[in-house]
Structure 1
Amino acid sequence: MPLWRMLPGLLRDPLGQLVAMADAAPGEVLRLNLGTIRPYLVTEPAHVQHVLRDNAANYTRGGQSMLWRPVRRLTGDGIMSDGPEWQASRGRMQPHFTAKRIDSLVDSMSRSVSDAVDEFDEPARTGRWLDAGAELGRVICRGFSSVFFADRLSLADQLRIAAAQDTIVTALRLRLLLPFVPDAVPVPGDRALRRAIGVVDDIMLPLVRAERARPRDGDDLLAALVNAREDDGRPLGEQRVRDDVVSMFATATETSYAVLTWLWPILDANPEVAGRLYAELDEVVGADRVISREQLLALTYTRSVVDELLRMYPAGWLVPRTAVADDVIGGARIKAGSIVAVSSYVTQRLARYWDRPDTFDPDRFGPDRPRRSHRYAYFPFGGGPHQCLGMYLFGLEAPLVVATILSRYRFRLREAGMPPKQLAATLRPGRPVAVALTPVHERRPA
C-alpha cells in the first residue's frame, strides 16, 4: 500500500484507515509503505495465529522493534522481553496468575475495591466533576496492590505510580510513531519519560530492598519474587526483581485502566445497554457494598459488556514482531528482519467476521451465542506463548470494578460523544472523560 494512498486516511483516522484497507483485502497480508519502514500488517485470523502461535519462535519482540524498545525503558528485561529472560520471568510469575489463585483472591480484592470506591461519596454528594480515567486508575491500583503486594505499597505511592504511568504511556507515543529514530536522538516526551520512570524506581526499588533485607514467608507476588532463585541457586538480583514487579504492575493496571475508561462514553451513547447493565446490577448486587465471588459470577451481562469493550477498544491495539528467518504468510514472502504487526483492533472490526462491527453489542458475548468462526478473530490479550498472564485476572477484576461503581452510582458526562482515539503504547481516549456521580442507594455498612 503506497503512502500516497494511505496518507489522507491515516491523518484523519489512522485506525479506521487500517480497518478499511484490511476489509478491502480479505485473506491478504498488507505491506505498508511508511517511508523509512515498511511493516507487514497481518489481520486475517489464520495469519495472526501463524505469527502469534504456530510459528511464534520466528517472530520475536526483538530489542529494536517499533514498540518493545521504548517500552523496555520502563519494564527492563523480564516478562516484557524475549528469550531466556522472558521464559524465566514468566515461569516465576505464572503460579500467581492461575485461575485457582485468582479465584482465592476475589474476596480480598473486592474489599479493597470497595474501600477505594467509598471515596466517591464526597464528590457524589457535592457534584464535583471527576476524571474517570484517573479515578479508575486509583481504584484498580488499590485492588491490585492489596493482593499482589500485601498492602506494602502505600496509597500515596499507588497514586504517584498511577500518575507516572499516565505520563509514560503518553510520552512513549512519539517513540512508537517514530520507531526508526535512534534512542540517542531526543524527541519530545523523552525528558518527561525519564522523570516518570525515575518516580517509579524511587518507589519500587526501596520496596524491593526492604523486602530483600527482611524477607517474609508471604505468598504475595513481591515476597515470592524476592525469595525466588536463579537456575544456579543464587537469589534474583535487585534489578531483576524490580523489572518483574514493575512489568506486572504496569501491564495489569494499565490494561484495565485503558479499557474501562471507554465504558462511560459507551454507556452514555447506548442507553439500552446501560439500562440492561443497571438492571442486572440492581438485581444481583443491590445495595451491597462488597461484592462476593458468587455475585460476580452471576453478572453475566456485565461480563459481556466488558468483553465487547475489549473487542472495540483493546488496550494492546498493536503487537509488532520481528521476523528471525524468511517465512511465508498467506502467500506473502516475509524476509528475515522484517517488522510484522498484528492488530487486535483491526481484526476485531473486520466486517467479514463481525456483524455491524462498529456497533457496541454485548450480546455477541452472551452465554447462548455460538462460538466465533476462528479463535484469533478475537484476541485482546494476544495469543500463543506470549499471551497475557493477567487475562484471567482482568476477567474478574474489570467486572468487579464496573459492578462496584455502577451498583452505587449513576453518572453524567460533562462532554457527550465518543472521545478521539489516542494511539500510544495502549489505546486510550484522546481527551479526559469527566463524569459527575449520583448515589443510587443510601449508604449502609459493608
Structure 2
Amino acid sequence: MTTPLDGLDDLPWEGMRVPGPGHDAGRIPSALREMATAEEGTTDIWGAALDVGRGYFGDRGDRYSEAAEHVLPFLIALCASPTAETASEAADLLRDLALAEPDEAETAAGNAGMLERVRALLLAGRPAYYAMLERPEPVVRRAGLELLHPVDAGAPHHAAALERARRAETDEETHRALGFHLDSLALNPDERGFGADLPLGPGLPGGEAGPRGTTSPLDGLDDIPWAGMRDEYAYERAARIPELLRKLDQGGPDTGAVRRDLEDTFVHGHSGCYLEPTEYLVPFFLRLCRSDDAAVVAAAVVLLCDVAGSDPFHTELEAGNVGLYERVEALLAAELPLYYRLLDHPDERVRGAAVELVVLVDGGAPRCREELERMWRTERTKRVRGVLAEEMRGLAGGSGADAP
C-alpha cells in the first residue's frame, strides 16, 4: 500500500542548499510527517523550501531553495489528504511555490532549469487542485481555489470550473471568494497563470465535464490536441496516440507491437531524441505502470526508459519549446518511488525494465547501487541477472569485473 510520503527518507535532505538564515532542509521529513498528521510542521517546510524574501531579500519577493523541487511531489500528494487541515496547508505551501522564483544562489551553483522543473511538477498536480474544489470542507475548497490562480488563471477550463463551483457553493465565504476570482479574471484578462496556455493534461476539466480526479489510466486522453503536435512525420503519427494508448491499456498479445508503434509517435527515428508529444504521454505511461496486466506494465516501463534515456529533438528547441527537457525530467523524477517498487514486481519483464529505468533516472544515488546489489543477491532469472550485471558494470565505470 502506498502512502503520500513514500520515498521521503530516500532523499538527501541534509545536503540541500537553503540560503536563508536559520533554515535547515534536514527538518523537512519530520515536518512533512507532522503535517500529514495535522500537527505542526508547516513553518519548517516553508522555511527550508522557500527562502523567506520579505525580510532577507527586501522587495525582491520569495525565492525557493534546492529543496523546493524535492518537497513538491509530497505536498501535491498531501492535497488529497482526508484531513482538511493537512490538505489546505499543503495547498497553501504549493501556492507559495507557484508564486516564487529560484534563489540566485541556485543559478550560481549551476542549478539551471530549476524554474521549469518546479513549474512542471506544479502543472502535473493540477488534477489534485481541481479535485479540491469538490471537497466537502470549505477551507479545502478555498485553498484549492487560491492555488489554482497562479497556475491556471486565464485558461478556459479554469474559468468554467470556477463558475460551476460558484453555482454549487453553499458556504458564504467560499462563494464570495469564487466570485472575487471570477471578477478578477474578467477585469484582468492579461493576468494569467503559467499553465494557462498549455493544452489540458490528464485528469483536468475540459468542456462541460467539470473537475474530476483520475479514475482510469486514460482519463483526459481526448482533452489533449494530439493531432496538432509535431512528430517525425509532419503531424501524421501523433494523431494515432489515443488509439494506440487504448490498445496498450487493453493488453493482449499485440502489446509489444503497440509499444513500438507508440515509440514512433514521440521518438525521432534517426536521433532517438523525443518530440512534442513526449511530455503529454509520460503521465499516461506512469499510470499504466500500475496496471494489473504485467505485459502492459512492462511495455509502459520500456516506454519510460525511451524517454529517460534521451533529450529533446533539435526541432523542438527551434520551435520555441524551451524547458522541454526540464519539464520531462521533473515528471520522471516525481515518480521515483514507483520505479523502486517495480524492482520487486513478480514479472521478470517488469523487473528487468525497472532496473534500466531506475539507473536512467537515479543512477547517481547511493540507493540505486544498494537496490541493485540487493537484487543481485536474490534474483534467480537469467534475463534480469543479465540486465543487473550490465547496469552495475556501467555504474562502476564500465569495469569488466563480475557484478556486483
Q: Which has the higher helix share?
A: 2
Q: Which has the higher strand share?
A: 1
Is TM-score (shorter-chain normalized) higher than 0.5?
no
Q: TM-score, normalised on structure 2?
A: 0.31
